[in-house]
């Protein structure tokens, strides 16, 4: 910006103020960006209204993960499955009622998503510390970050200020959450609809470096991948044999298997190394390496450079957490994450 040689003090002050605003906007981190054109979120949202919010969430998440390492992946997954349906608004936490059909009953969530009791405990503690202040949607976002850090993953500042939805969408849950047997193009489309690109897709898929999956989610890869009765040729034969021992053609649907066979409870880049070695558990994992040169390149980058994966994962988590949040006077702050306040 250039200033004219002669400027009266009032105009000069306005010009300097405008320049400073441009500089602030240019230097602001991603978490201050306007998500989908809406009001912005910021990490310091509860600094005055509930100064112990972060401490409370972190301590309860730490206790839950210490009790069961798998809980880290479960809490991270809750945030994903929330944000991909109607935005990050805690709709996934609502139980069914006279007016609500719970997203917990959708195909991707039924007998699968978990960690609700941990969120309940966090909410109860926050309501005692600062009643009617911290949203369930923000609890999900913080718990996802804290879970990731506790098992060795990257830290990121969580933009806050989301409010909670007044309803749920089981149709959205059935249609918008990527499935283990989706084609790569379908998964790309589902991410694109949320404003997420290929880098986000591959980086966020790296969350499968922790957690477990049920036999029913990958059985077709072992016995009938292409409708010809043959196993998936992109699956390492020795690994497939190990999987078949506990995932038979019929039965054992709920048997659990680590998504990362090397370090299933540690957040690292072994997930990507596994894909290169044809040892990705889910079809939706392995196709990132086999079905697209663009996603294959990203898989190889992250397999070779864990620090780069951590950087991209943290950035993409902030971006995902900014999907269509309810802010200002929209929605409400639920007193109980399982039901709307007027219920």
Whether 176 is catalytic is: no
Phi, psi of 128 (to 5 degrees): -75, -40
Please give the C-alpha separations between residue 283 and each of 180, 189, 213, 233, in angstroms, as whole numbers. 6, 17, 12, 11
Token pair in block for residue 116: 């609700």
Phi, psi of 133 (to 5 degrees): -125, -50
The CA distance from 336 to 127, in Å, is 9
Active-site residue, selected from the candidate residues 36, 54, 79, 81: 81
The CA distance from 333 to 146, in Å, is 21
Q: Where are the alpha helices (DSSP H) in 84-213?
A: 116-129, 136-150, 170-176, 184-193, 198-205
The CA distance from 211 to 137, in Å, is 22
**Strand pairing partners for 339?**
336
Element (H, E) at 21: helix 9-27
Element (H, E) at 69: none
Token pair in block for residue 49: 């209204």
User: Closest by alpha carbon to 231, among 267, 278, 197?
Assistant: 278
Give the alpha-carbon dihedral of 167, 172, 174, 179, to 10 degrees: -130
* Active centre residues (catalytic): 81
């Amino acid at each position: 910006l250039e200033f004219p040689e002669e400027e009266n003090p009032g105009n000069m002050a306005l010009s300097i103020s405008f320049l400073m605003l441009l500089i602030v906007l240019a230097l602001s981190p991603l978490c201050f960006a306007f998500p989908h054109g809406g009001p912005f979120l910021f990490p310091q949202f509860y600094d005055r209204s509930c100064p112990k919010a972060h401490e409370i969430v972190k301590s309860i998440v730490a206790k839950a993960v210490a009790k069961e390492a798998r809980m880290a992946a479960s809490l991270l997954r809750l945030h994903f499955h929330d944000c991909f349906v109607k935005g990050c608004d805690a709709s996934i936490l609502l139980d069914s009622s006279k007016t609500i059909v719970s997203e917990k009953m959708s195909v991707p969530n039924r007998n699968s998503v978990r960690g609700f009791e941990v969120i309940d405990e966090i909410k109860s503690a926050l309501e005692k510390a600062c009643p009617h202040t911290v949203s369930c949607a923000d609890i999900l976002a913080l718990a996802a970050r804290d879970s990731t850090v506790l098992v060795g993953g990257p830290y990121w500042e969580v933009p806050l200020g989301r409010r909670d939805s007044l309803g749920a969408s089981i149709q959205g849950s059935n249609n918008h959450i990527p499935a283990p047997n989706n084609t790569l193009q379908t998964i790309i489309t589902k991410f694109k609809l949320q404003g997420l690109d290929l880098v986000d897709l591959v980086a966020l898929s790296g969350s499968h470096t922790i957690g477990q999956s049920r036999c029913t989610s990958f059985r077709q890869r072992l016995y009938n991948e292409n409708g010809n009765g043959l196993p998936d040729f992109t699956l390492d034969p020795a690994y497939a044999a190990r999987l078949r021992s506990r995932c038979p053609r019929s039965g054992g649907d709920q048997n659990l298997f680590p998504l990362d066979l090397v370090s299933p409870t540690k957040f690292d880049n072994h997930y990507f190394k596994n894909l290169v070695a044809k040892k990705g558990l889910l079809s939706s994992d392995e196709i990132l390496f086999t079905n697209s040169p663009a996603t294959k390149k990203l898989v190889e980058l992250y397999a070779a450079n864990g620090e780069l994966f951590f950087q991209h994962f943290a950035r993409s988590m902030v971006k995902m957490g900014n999907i269509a949040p309810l802010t200002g006077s929209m929605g409400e702050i639920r007193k109980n994450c399982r039901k709307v306040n007027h219920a």
